[in-house]
Amino acid sequence: MKRIFISIYLWIACIAVLFAQSSYKLVWSDEFNQDGLLDTAVWNYEGGFARNEELQWYQPDNAYCKGGYLIIEALQEKRLNPNYLEGSKDWRTSREFIECTSSSVTTAGKKEFLYGRIEIRARIPVGKGAWPAIWLLGRSMEWPSCGEIDIMEFYRKQGVPHILANAAWGTDQRWAAKWNSKAIPFDYFLSKNSDWASEFHVWRMDWDEEAICLYLDDELLNKILLKDTYNGIIGERRNPFMQPHYLLLNLAIGGVNGGDVSSEAFPMRYEIDYVRVYQK
């Protein structure tokens, strides 16, 4: 009798999973099947030195579609920084030279989403200094009160490679974030698959009115409850994860989290097979 109850329970659980999956409908995707630059009706290219004191100079040429993939490359390229100002204290203008280039692309103002499932299949670079990411920002308020969701980050923490799944929101202090962060040592994934870095993997976010769940190859890495994510005074005590967000895909180099960079790691290549957005 016990076996019968267990079998019935498993059958019901399987039906529930299948029903939950079937309730999602594809609302937008980019399969990157057209060779060349990205569709600018959907994607924006960031330019120059962007954030976090990173080394790369962002430019459109380093992101292109080929063979069904979006390829973001980081290259060693030394040239003059056109924004250089002698004596400047700003890291963006105090650097006389650009040391490397890469790309960051966003859907801001063009494709923005509130709730649903986002899936990205990608192969990431893991060389020293690489900081690839799949993330989202809310369309209103300044950071971090706009809300940030990091479906994937890879970088070294105290020299040790980690994969991260995070969310951040505002506090009572301007530009000071409250974080819910999970950092998993990269060795955890290598112990299960020594070829992990050479293969494609699927990152997924399931997001609804109650929680943000972040997955890697169907393994839950982090669950963020929205009851805990209200902004402080700066963000008017609103919940930033109850507003539309836009997507960012970028390959940063070095900076405050990327750490030391190895010249042997260049060229770095971040390959995205597809981006798919589903909603109920």
For the chain, 280 residues long, give each residue's pLDDT as a single digit of tens: 545 544 555 454 444 444 455 699 999 999 999 999 999 999 999 999 999 999 999 999 999 999 999 999 999 999 999 999 999 999 999 999 999 999 999 999 999 999 999 999 999 999 999 999 999 999 999 999 999 999 999 999 999 999 999 999 999 999 999 999 999 999 999 999 999 999 999 999 999 999 999 999 999 999 999 999 999 999 999 999 999 999 999 999 999 999 999 999 999 999 999 999 999 9
Q: Sign of the C-alpha dihedral, residues 94, 98, 104, 105?
A: positive
Q: What are the angstrom distances between the C-alpha of 42 and each of 132, 167, 196?
A: 21, 24, 31
Q: Examine the residue annotation and report whether 153 is marked as an active-site residue of this protein.
A: yes
**Model pTM?**
0.92
Annotated active-site residue in 153, 199, 219, 264: 153
Annotated active-site residue in 46, 54, 73, 148: 148
Helix H or strand E encompassing 218: none
Q: Examine the residue annotation and report whether 96 is marked as an active-site residue of this protein.
A: no
| pLDDT for the residue 15 | 45
Cα torsion 80, 84, 90, 94 to 10°: value is 60
Of 227, 151, 221, the C-alpha closest to 184 is: 221
Task: Count Cβ atoms below 10 Å from residue 197 Cβ, excluding itself.
Answer: 17
Residues 6+ apart with CB under 8 A from 218: 202, 204
Cα torsion 162, 267, 80, 56 to 10°: value is -20
The residue ranges of every structural domain in the chain are 26-279
Assigned CATH topology for domain 26-279? Jelly Rolls (2.60.120)
